[in-house]
């Protein structure tokens, strides 16, 4: 029986890397029925909304989606499609593995970190007050009355929300993941020293949850120190759990440690729905050039195969990708500028490797 998967090509470089990924996934021999769905500016132009209800329906029905990146207009225009999908579908956990592959231009060897990012709240909750609006003035008045603090009238305000329930849920997810994948340690990242009621809550809940998992190590790091330590000695970290904003920043930093965004896959998960997508964005300047690395999305496909229980197909695809990286000849400019091939040629090379392991 074929797995029915919602396939969202996205925009910018999205359609090219999605097509490359679809081809390699089909070449694993696992059967897929791709249910195409469109979001972002093309959907906005056509249907007057960046996420038509039919996209939510498709993902809710199929339970699994594979998604290319989507451009978010900066400063104005529609809000992030990515944030809306994660919030709308309750995809509370963002899972981003960062692993070194032999032959990748990584700064370090033997990095194997899983970033687990809370996906629904923090400064990404979307509760914002535009400078100069009556709503912003009302909030400023309330703040002044309740705290005695004055906020400058020319301020825009974004609310940082950290709840006990969401903190507990994501930290538990991190420990359960550690147990299920034989991981040894969870590191919680925060700025509880400064934001005592939001990050402070996250940290105290993390400490409580850690006590329920005596078989897994636990430590915490203040976010700025964490950045420095990741750059100095990334091998000391195993699973990292963080509120939304720090998790977002740390996952790009970790991608930089292992050879760049072209090798960083991800998943957004609830208890019964999953969207797999690369960490990187739509890189509009490279759109349509058959230039960028499709491996972050292919590795997201590997994560999807494991989620579906297709371990053998996942191992074969990951091995094929690793062999293409190690070969160093059929890779894109970010991995090997001297010999760089295009996006679709990388897919051809991975499919060829899959063919070899098939026989
Ligand atoms: P980006 O990740 O799109 O690109 C940053 C740079 O990283 C690129 O210029 C390129 O040099 C490199 N890069 C990215 N993907 C690559 C790949 N596959 N192969 C090789 N090099 C790659 O970040 P940005 O320019 O800040 O964002 C562009 C748009 O993407 C924005 O609108 C942003 O909101 C959106 N975005 C979407 C998602 C998503 O859909 N999940 C995630 C992040 C950003």
The answer for residues whose C-beta is within 8 angstroms of residue 350's C-beta and 6 or more apart is 24, 27, 298, 317, 320, 321, 324
Give the ligand 1 atom nearest the CA of 17. Answer: 18
CA distance linking residue 46 with residue 215, whole number of Å: 53
The string of pLDDT tens digits covering residues 39-85 is: 988 888 888 889 999 999 999 999 999 999 999 877 666 778 998 89
User: Measuring CA to CA, which residue among 206, 211, 276 is closest to residue 239?
Assistant: 206
User: Does the pLDDT at position 197 exceed 50?
Assistant: yes
From the candidates 57, 224, 271, 272, which is the catalytic residue? 224
Residue length of the chain: 359
pLDDT given for residue 153 in this prediction: 96
Confidence of residue 327 (pLDDT cuts 50, 70, 90): very high
For ligand 1, whether the C-beta of 69 sits within 6 Å is yes
- Block residue for tokens 């996934």: 25
Instruction: Give catalytic status of residue 87 as yes or no.
Output: no
For ligand 1, whether the C-beta of 280 sits within 6 Å is yes
253 within 8 A of 230, measured Cβ to Cβ: yes
The string of pLDDT tens digits covering residues 225-268 is: 999 999 999 999 999 999 999 999 999 999 999 999 999 999 99
CA distance linking residue 301 with residue 58, whole number of Å: 18
For ligand 1, atom 38, the nearest C-alpha belongs to 281
For ligand 1, whether the C-beta of 292 sits within 6 Å is yes
pLDDT given for residue 356 in this prediction: 66
pLDDT (average), residues 298-314: 98
For ligand 1, atom 16, the nearest C-alpha belongs to 262
CA distance linking residue 349 with residue 205, whole number of Å: 47
Q: Is the dihedral of CA 143, 145, 146, 151 positive or negative?
A: positive
Give the ligand 1 atom nearest the CA of 74. Answer: 32
**189 CA → ligand 1 middle, Å:** 24
From the candidates 248, 291, 334, 353, which is the catalytic residue? 248
Instruction: Give catalytic status of residue 124 as yes or no.
Output: yes
Instruction: Give catalytic status of residue 224 as yes or no.
Output: yes
pLDDT given for residue 342 in this prediction: 98
Confidence of residue 334 (pLDDT cuts 50, 70, 90): very high
CA distance linking residue 36 with residue 8, whole number of Å: 6
**356 CA → ligand 1 middle, Å:** 33
For ligand 1, atom 8, the nearest C-alpha belongs to 283
User: Measuring CA to CA, which residue among 274, 270, 263 is closest to residue 67?
Assistant: 274
pLDDT (average), residues 84-93: 93
- Residue 7, SS3 per DSSP: strand
Give the ligand 1 atom nearest the CA of 293. Answer: 19
User: Domains of the chain, with CATH numbers?
Assistant: 1-96+264-359 (3.40.718.10), 107-122+162-258 (3.40.50.2300), 125-159 (no CATH)
For ligand 1, atom 42, the nearest C-alpha belongs to 281
pLDDT given for residue 357 in this prediction: 53
User: Does the pLDDT at position 218 exceed 70?
Assistant: yes
**336 CA → ligand 1 middle, Å:** 19
User: Measuring CA to CA, which residue among 22, 64, 8 is closest to residue 270?
Assistant: 64
pLDDT given for residue 76 in this prediction: 64
Name the strand (E) or helix (H) holding 141: helix 134-147
Give the ligand 1 atom nearest the CA of 292. Answer: 19
From the candidates 101, 124, 177, 246, which is the catalytic residue? 124
pLDDT (average), residues 276-294: 96
R_g (Cα) of the chain, nearest Å: 21
User: Does the pLDDT at position 323 exceed 80?
Assistant: yes
- In this prediction the pTM is 0.93
The string of pLDDT tens digits covering residues 127-184 is: 999 999 999 999 999 999 999 999 999 999 999 999 999 999 999 999 999 999 999 9
End-to-end CA distance of the chain: 23
331 within 8 A of 340, measured Cβ to Cβ: yes
pLDDT given for residue 300 in this prediction: 98
256 φ/ψ angles, rounded to the nearest 5 degrees: -60, -30
The string of pLDDT tens digits covering residues 101-123 is: 999 999 899 999 999 999 999 99
Tell me the best of 55, 280, 332 to mutate to test the pocket of ligand 1, counting ligand atoms within 8 Å of each CB and taking the most: 280
**187 CA → ligand 1 middle, Å:** 27
pLDDT given for residue 125 in this prediction: 84
For ligand 1, atom 6, the nearest C-alpha belongs to 283
128 φ/ψ angles, rounded to the nearest 5 degrees: -135, 150
């Amino acid at each position: 029986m074929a797995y029915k998967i919602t396939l969202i090509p996205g925009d910018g470089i999205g359609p090219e890397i999605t097509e490359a990924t679809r081809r390699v996934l089909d070449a694993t021999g696992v059967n897929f029925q791709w249910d195409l769905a469109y979001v972002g500016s093309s959907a906005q132009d056509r249907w007057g909304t960046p996420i038509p209800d039919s996209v939510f329906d498709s993902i809710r029905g199929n339970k699994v989606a594979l998604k290319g990146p989507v451009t978010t207009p900066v400063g104005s225009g529609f809000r992030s499609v990515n944030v809306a999908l994660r919030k709308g579908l309750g995809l509370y956990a963002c899972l981003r593995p960062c692993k070194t592959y032999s032959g990748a231009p990584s700064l370090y060897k033997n990095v194997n970190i899983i970033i687990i990012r809370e996906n629904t709240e923090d400064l990404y909750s979307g509760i914002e007050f535009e400078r100069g609006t009556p709503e912003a003035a009302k909030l400023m008045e309330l703040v002044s009355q309740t705290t005695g603090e004055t906020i400058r009238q020319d301020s825009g305000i974004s609310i940082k929300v950290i709840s006990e329930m969401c903190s507990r849920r994501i930290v538990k997810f991190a420990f359960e993941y550690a147990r299920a994948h034989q991981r040894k340690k969870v590191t919680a990242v925060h700025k509880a020293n400064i934001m005592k009621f939001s990050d402070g809550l996250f940290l105290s809940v993390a400490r409580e949850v850690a006590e329920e998992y005596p078989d897994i190590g636990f430590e915490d790091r203040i976010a700025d120190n964490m950045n420095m330590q990741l750059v100095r000695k990334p091998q000391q970290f195993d699973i990292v759990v963080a509120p939304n904003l720090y998790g977002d920043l740390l996952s790009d930093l970790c991608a930089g440690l292992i050879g760049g965004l072209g090798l960083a896959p991800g998943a957004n998960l609830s208890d019964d729905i999953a969207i797999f997508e690369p960490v990187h964005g739509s890189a509009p300047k490279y759109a349509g050039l058959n230039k960028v690395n499709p491996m972050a999305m292919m590795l997201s496909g590997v994560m999807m195969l494991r989620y579906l229980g297709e371990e053998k197909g996942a191992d074969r695809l990951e091995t094929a990708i690793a062999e293409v990286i190690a070969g160093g000849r059929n890779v894109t400019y970010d991995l090997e500028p001297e010999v760089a091939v295009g996006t679709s040629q990388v897919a051809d090379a991975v499919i060829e490797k899959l063919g070899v392991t098939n026989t």
